Structure 1
Amino acid sequence: MSLMTKILSASTAMALAAGAAFADGHSAGPAIIYDLGGKFDKSFNESAYNGAQRWADENGGEFAEFEITSDAQREQAIRRFAEDGNSPIVMAGFSWATALETAAPDYPDTDFVVIDVSWIDMPNVRAVGFK
């Protein structure tokens, strides 16, 4: 496992832990939406999955998950999880930026985490970028 994938895995675990700490009012738990390539892509998605699974194992928690198969599903997936009460909703990769910037304002009480993006500045979005 490369250093970048280890960092991503740890970032996902921390994002779920941090989000779960302030998501007490939500009926559903955290969610992770995988990018194109699927959760076992031997790259960012799999690292994000490993981090989410680590969080679940260490905290006895559960998380919802979804693997998109086309770019057209990005915003739809974000909205579906937000409407179901999931929080935080975690996504890995800069490809999520546009859909997240569009959907997040409609769900001010939902916390979102996007990894590998540093330029989004919204009150309910934690953008985690790498130097």
Structure 2
Amino acid sequence: FGTPGDAAYVVDGNRIHQSCGPLGSRGPVVYVLDPELGIVYHAADGFGRRGTPAFTAEGDRLIRCSGPNCTPGACVLLLDGNKVFRGDGPFCNKGEGAFLLDGNVVHLAYGPFASQGDALFQVDGDLPLLALLAILAGY
């Protein structure tokens, strides 16, 4: 039903924090975003120093990075309207449905048409698409 529970992540500027507690207190930094380059970096430490590249965004696709220069690797997620599909291979072929975005609620999706499944989490406030895709890539 999308009933809010404990906070899972806190996005603060260009950092994605793991949440601590039900009120969404900021915990250690998990990812660092570079929206201008469309790159998501692993955090080198809990304070948010930039580590190795994790993902790069190319249009409506999130692609796994390889190496310190973010050489594009396999496709992770593909956005198609309000549906998010698993990416398949380096050419980002559409795979199985992974998530369905319904307003501020993110549902699990299943099947080739991304049919709506259980509610996974609710977004509170504005969330950049790059941050949302990085969070979803972890599921």
The TM-score range, normalised by the shorter chain, is under 0.3
Structure with a larger share of its residues in strand: 2
How does the TM-score come out when normalised to structure 2?
0.27
How does the TM-score come out when normalised to structure 1?
0.28
Q: Work out which structure has the larger RCO, using CA pairs closer than 8 Å and 6 or more positions apart in sequence.
A: 1
